[in-house]
Amino acid sequence: MLLIPCPYCGERDETEFSYGGEAHIERPKEPDKLSDAEWADYVFMRPNSKGVLLERWVHSHGCRRWFNVARDTLTYKIHAVYKMGEKRPRVPKTDYV
Amino acid sequence: MAQTFRLPEGGQIDRAQSLGFSFDGGRYRGYGGDSLASALLANGIHFVGRSFKYHRPRGIFAAGFEEPNALVQLGEDPRTDPNQLATLVELVEGLAARSQNRWPSLDYDIGALNNLASRAFPSGFYYKTFMWPATMWMKYEHFIRHAAGMGQSPRERDPDRYDKTQAHCDVLVVGAGPAGLAAALAAARSGARVVLAEQDHLLGGALLGEAEATIGGAPALDWARAAEAELRSLPEVRVLGRTTVYGYFDHNFLTLIEKVTDHLNRKPEHLPRHRLWKLRAKQVVLATGSIERPLVFRDNDRPGIMLAGACRTYVNRYAVKPGTTAVVFTNNDSAYGAALDMQAAGIEIAAIVDLRREVIGPMSEAAEAAGLPILADHAIVATEGGRRIKRVRAAPMDPSGGQVYVSGEPIDCDLLAVSGGWSPTLHLHSQAKGEIAWNEELGCFVPGEARQAAHSAGACNAAFGLASCLAEGATAGQKAAAAAGFKAKGRKKAAPKAADHGFLPARWLWLVPSDTPLGHGGKHFHELQNDVTAADLQLALREGYRSIEHVKRYTTTGMGTDQGKTSNVNAIGIVAEATGRAVPEVGVTTFRPPFTPVTFGVFAGRDVDELLDPVRRTPMHGWHQQAGALFEDVGQWRRAWYYPRAGEDMHAAVTREVREVRRSLGIMDASTLGKIDIQGSDASELLNRIYTNAWKKLEVGRCRYGLMLGEDGMVMDDGVTARLGENHYLMTTTTGNAAPVLAHLEEYIQTEWPEFDVYCTSVTEQFATISIAGPNARRLLAELTSDIELSPNDFPHMAVRDGTVAGVPARVFRVSFTGEAAYEINVPSSFGLAVWQATMTAGEKYGITPYGTEAMHVLRAEKGFIIVGQETDGSINPIDLGMDWIVSKKKDFVGKRSLTRSDMAKPDRKQLVGILTDDPAVVLPEGAHLVERVEPQPPMAMLGHVSSSYYSPNVGRSIALALVKGGLAKKGQKLTAPLLDGRKIGCTVVDPVFFDPEGDRLRG
């Protein structure tokens, strides 16, 4: 079970959180101007990446705040957590095959 | 029978404590401190079970958690445990154990015929034999399950209690052998919070089985006792005996099972049987020791064939002679230590058969000096004996070690002690995703880099000498403590002095040759628990399996409850040799939790019965109970379902309730509806973006129905939201979606529109909601309030008013889910019951009828109102429901763009329709499929399904709602519902509104 450092509450067990998928996917400002494919890409398509992924979590059973996590999907190492709206952290490049 | 094989003195046992126990009905005695296995051996019993596939007699093989054979059934139903390792079961007075996998008895077992017919059971036997015809599988399975039975699970409910607990520590040390004790001491002395977990009830690990070991010039166990005493005296240290760390998960989260009362004769009421520890450790020291491997030679599975190290443990720790005349068979130096200890205990060593060409090594040389008979460069090519080994044959090998040309010399014995080298116990390291490397010289897999904050020390790190164990343990303990923020205090203590020899030199022969070809005249077992032989592995390879993971599954090697603790490395070695690959190329199979089997009970813990899940009750729950209501579960809520009167069945009660609401007046407890208080200057804009319809022009004091979609355009929830002030709304949600809707709002506010000034608060439980509905609802409310104007002009449908009801501050919504004029009276929860009672009293003259969720469902279905989750399933959009009238064309909202995707406009999407059966008395079952053309038997093209179906007394017939492909265009068309019972119900597609389509009653 992951130990997630909530930027507001500190380290807590994964069971207190809910997962929100990949981070930094902004809702399009003018959805009507997108093609079906572009809209489907926004709603449904996510890369299943191996390596460090910037992803969203919410502390559902705590402060109920959303924040971002830089987590390696292979090792599960958490490299950084940062609040919504903050700049992306520098994360190590991974060259997994 | 007396304990004939008990040594007169010595051992870590309590001779003052004589304990009676039984095995297969026979009565025996052992001592406190015995395991079931050591007590059986003290009574001369080796033969304790039959093997899994061939039902061959099997004996106690090991002395610890690696035991593959001695699985027993303990106790009687309901307190019975199958597949318990006799080597780990602590002896208690009255312990009753039975052998497994034999029928009718251990001595006369019908399944043993499998052994004679073993040619018929090659690897992959099940796959090959029972593939065809598929319909026969159920029959085959019955016999296979019977034949391959392990123990029996209890039939009755487990009467014991189990606990779960959480813990945190700076350093967790797993294993209390020399390395673990040294690590725990080093970490604890730095002031770190230490947990030391040991699966055994005694600390000391391998030291318990070695008589001669010394540390700092004194007996090693004295050092262990002193270490234990010091650890137990430190306030920040927790020593957990009888506790197995069985799982190592992400971020240093480990799970432990503590056996709290199994060893106690009288079990205190206040203690759980087992306790599950969920432990988060900053640092972990793995000091899990090593597991001795057997040698793979012909008929190496008879009772009386044991691991050499286990023999040593039985002699030294339990003061038990596992035999009178022993042959030792080894490929390394360590078994000589066992031979010397056995000789000292009075066991005659008939021969030491050594695969190595030369007898070198400290223990070997000591044995040679002691005059033990040694046969170097020899192999045991055969064994004899049915229920106990009685003879072996030893023969010289050719120089390659691959052939034997003579049948060899017979040597009589009743014990064969075997050592094929040692494998570090890597299970936890590997579960934690640590790397594993092959060490050619040591002939074993060793831990590579750890992926988590873990340090391996001692034998599990391939440090097999005692001095190395102590040194590595101390270093690992210090490092772990330092990494957790604790610096060692004072001068570093030098590791105490001890001997430092491992088991080398060794000669690695994965498969010991015999005088007959492999698979002929006997069996070379490498895997005892699942009865897998070297010939099975080679067959799998011949049939084209290459990956060790596939070979494992095909032959079932390593797939028993022991997960191949003694067999995996030999299997990999044999596969490597047979395929001409190096061992690391073959690789290892995956280590998975649990390390040793864990009782189901601890996973449940106290989360059973009423503690399984919280129950939510409304403030009026007690009133419903007194009124004789039956309840239904809606999420965690218990809602009144219907209120049967004397003599009424459900149908009669619901019919009465439904009729009374439309005739005069009904009252329902709607407190469970989700309520979210929304405030802030952007509250209107939030609703505008979340709901499909427009919200900005809603007047204060008015309500609006809203439909909420996911970004995929599918209906997520619906409900009425009231504007209480310029920047203040109260949103209601369906009962089951209260939490998800709040989470949905918060997600969008925080992640997409962080600039919004808006706050959402769940107030579901703060208000009790009393819904009154029917032609007399307004008259009744007028009697309860003096400060709310109720005329339709002053308080129209879809309005909200604050005031006083029954003397209590209240907020009243005029909304309707029944199609009648209706009011939802919201009062603070603590007043809920009082206001309900006042309403009931005032309503008596109107024949006020409490109605439950079932009547509510009928009433709303008469009006064609949907229930989210019943008419929708996450794949239904507003257009499918015929609710385009509520979808704004102008503004953007969550899910809007998805509604214009090409798939959403397909004419054959499932759409909401009403269904009327040809026979008005027939009520379709919900879930019934609808077809256009009935075939004699399935499959037939299905058009959709019935989502809601009731008998409606107000319409005077059955009514149903259904989702039908292209349903909106099928109005008037005939369909058929073929039912499971063979009936074929004819019906017609109609509009989903069955009652008062103009809505006059609503506004009255």
Please list, residue by residue across B346-361, b when 16 or more beta carbons sit within 10 angstroms of its beta carbon and e when fewer do. ebebbbbbbbbeebeb
Q: Given this model, what pLDDT does residue B593 score? A: 95
HEC assignment per residue over B921-965: CCCCCCCCEEECCCCCCCCCCEEEEEEEEEEECCCCEEEEEEEEE
Is B317's pLDDT higher than 80?
yes
CATH architecture of B905-1004: Beta Barrel (2.40)
Q: Each residue of B862-918: pLDDT tens digit?
A: 999 999 999 999 999 999 999 999 999 999 999 999 999 988 989 999 999 999 999
Residue range B466-494: average pLDDT? 90
Q: Each residue of B627-652: pLDDT tens digit?
A: 999 999 999 999 999 999 999 999 99
Predicted confidence band of residue B1000 (pLDDT cuts 50, 70, 90):
confident
Closest Cβ–Cβ partner in A26, A28, A76 for B251: A76
What's chain A's average pLDDT? Answer: 95
Q: Each residue of B362-413: pLDDT tens digit?
A: 999 999 999 999 999 999 999 999 999 999 999 999 999 999 989 999 999 9
For chain B, the straight-line distance linking the first and the last C-alpha, in angstroms and rounded, comes to 94
Give domain limits for chain A: 3-83
> B897, B898, B902, B906: best mutation site toward chain A, by most A Cβ within 10 Å?
B897
CB contact under 8 A, B897 and A1: no
What's chain B's average pLDDT? Answer: 94
Of the listed ranges B200-209, B470-479, B515-524, B746-755, the one predicted with least confidence: B515-524
For residues A66 and A18, the answer to whether their CB atoms sit within 8 Å is no
Q: Which CATH superfamily does the domain covering B294-418 fall into?
A: FAD/NAD(P)-binding domain (3.50.50.60)
CB contact under 8 A, A66 and B251: no
- Smallest CA-to-CA distance from B565 within B299, B288, B886 is with B288
Give domain limits for chain B: 1-157, 162-290+424-483, 294-418, 518-594, 621-664, 905-1004
Between helix B650-663 and helix B853-862 the angle, nearest 10°, is: 60
Query: What fold, for B518-594?
Result: Arc Repressor Mutant, subunit A (1.10.10)
CB contact under 8 A, B743 and A39: no
Backbone φ/ψ region at B628: left (φ over 0), alpha (ψ -120 to 50), beta? left
Assign 3-state DSSP to chain B and report helix, strand, coil percentages, each to 5: 25, 30, 45
CATH architecture of A3-83: 2-Layer Sandwich (3.30)
For residues B380 and B394, the answer to whether their CB atoms sit within 8 Å is yes
Residues of B in contact with A14 (CB under 8 A): 250
Question: Which strands form B759-762's sheet, in the order they lie side by side?
Answer: B703-709, B715-725, B728-733, B674-679, B759-762
Is B76's pLDDT higher than 80?
yes
Q: Each residue of B122-157: pLDDT tens digit?
A: 666 666 655 555 555 555 555 555 555 578 889 999
CB contact under 8 A, A58 and B743: yes
* Other beta carbons less than 10 A from residue B775's beta carbon: 16
CB contact under 8 A, A20 and B249: no
Entry field: residues in chain B: 1004
Torsion of CA B513, B519, B522, B525, to 10 degrees: 80
Q: Each residue of B669-693: pLDDT tens digit?
A: 999 999 999 999 999 999 999 999 9
Q: Given this model, what pLDDT does residue B102 score? A: 74
What whole-number distance in Å separates Cα of residue B171 and Cα of residue B584? 32
Grouping H, G, I as helix, E, B as strand and the rest as coil, residue B172 is strand
Specify the CATH number for B162-290+424-483; select among 3.30.70.1710, 3.50.50.60, 3.40.980.10, 3.40.50.2300.
Answer: 3.50.50.60
CB contact under 8 A, A26 and B752: yes
Residues of A in contact with B711 (CB under 8 A): 27, 43
Q: Measured between CB atoms, does B750 come within 8 Å of chain A?
A: yes
Share above pLDDT 90 across residues of chain B, in percent, rounded to a whole number: 88
Q: Each residue of B142-196: pLDDT tens digit?
A: 555 555 557 888 999 999 999 999 999 999 999 999 999 999 999 999 999 999 9
Q: Measured between CB atoms, does B743 come within 8 Å of chain A?
A: yes
B-contacting residues of A 2-31, CB under 8 Å? 2-3, 13-14, 18, 20, 26-28, 30-31
Q: Given this model, what pLDDT does residue B519 score? A: 86
Q: Given this model, what pLDDT does residue B513 score? A: 94
Q: Measured between CB atoms, does A39 come within 8 Å of chain B?
A: yes
What whole-number distance in Å separates Cα of residue B960 and Cα of residue B34? 70
Q: Given this model, what pLDDT does residue B147 score? A: 52
A-contacting residues of B 250-279, CB under 8 Å? 250-253
Residues of B in contact with A28 (CB under 8 A): 897
Instruction: Using CA coordinates, name the residue in chain B closest to A23.
Output: B751
Q: Given this model, what pLDDT does residue A96 score? A: 84
The contacts found for B536-543 with CB under 8 angstroms, 24 or more apart, are B536/B122, B536/B123, B537/B123, B537/B571, B537/B574, B537/B575, B537/B578, B538/B574, B538/B578, B539/B122, B539/B123, B539/B124, B540/B123, B540/B124, B541/B575, B541/B578, B541/B579, B543/B124
Q: Given this model, what pLDDT does residue A97 score? A: 72
Specify the CATH number for B1-157; select among 1.20.1560.10, 3.40.50.620, 3.40.50.300, 3.10.20.440.
Answer: 3.10.20.440
* Other beta carbons less than 10 A from residue B656's beta carbon: 19
Q: Measured between CB atoms, does A38 come within 8 Å of chain B?
A: no
> B250, B253, B276: best mutation site toward chain A, by most A Cβ within 10 Å?
B250
Closest Cβ–Cβ partner in A14, A39, A75 for B897: A39
* Other beta carbons less than 10 A from residue A29's beta carbon: 7
Q: Measured between CB atoms, does B435 come within 8 Å of chain A?
A: no
Q: Each residue of B406-436: pLDDT tens digit?
A: 999 999 999 999 999 999 999 999 999 999 9
| Residue B768, token pair as written in the block | 């009790």
CB pairs under 8 A between A and B: 60
Q: Does B1-157 match B518-594 in CATH topology?
A: no
Is B197's pLDDT higher than 60?
yes
Residues of A in contact with B170 (CB under 8 A): none
